[in-house]
Amino acid sequence: TPRLASSDKPDVDRISNSSVTVRWPSARNITSGLESHYYYIVWIKAEGGSYKDMSKQLHTSSTDRFESRITGLQFNTHYSVKVAPYHQQNELSEAGTSTGVTTFKTLCIGEWK
């Protein structure tokens, strides 16, 4: 089962007050030992809410960087972001738990400098 190692966690960069970009520094690390082309799904949830599929399919190859922009976020709200391989998308429960899911750092739009 493909997994994202802790060393493969992406950077989450603020683009504006309502948009963030999830960017992996090295797609090669993620695809090592896996298929050369792989899809991932990103979920996001506001504090106290449930995870929502952002319908962002992240495509990568052994040489490409890849990223996903998430828009429509509310100011001064904490968000959690998760990612999982596309074929495991149905394994992500409302609580956001899955053996194939890596949790990104919590976002707070409005607190970042």
Listed by start position, the domains of the chain span 6-108
> Which pLDDT belongs to residue 50?
73
Query: Which portions of the chain are predicted below pLDDT 70?
Result: 1-44, 51-113
Give backbone dihedrals phi and psi of 110, rounded to 5 degrees, phi first.
Answer: 110, -20
Kindly report the pTM of this predicted structure. 0.42
> Which pLDDT belongs to residue 37?
38
Closest CA to 85 of 64, 65, 60, 105: 60
Rounded Cα distance between 63 and 65, Å, is 7
> Which pLDDT belongs to residue 93?
40
Amino acid at site 26: S
> Which pLDDT belongs to residue 82?
63
Are the C-beta atoms of 73 and 111 separated by less than 8 Å? no
Helix (H, G, I), strand (E, B) or coil at 89: helix
Superfamily of domain 6-108: Immunoglobulins (2.60.40.10)
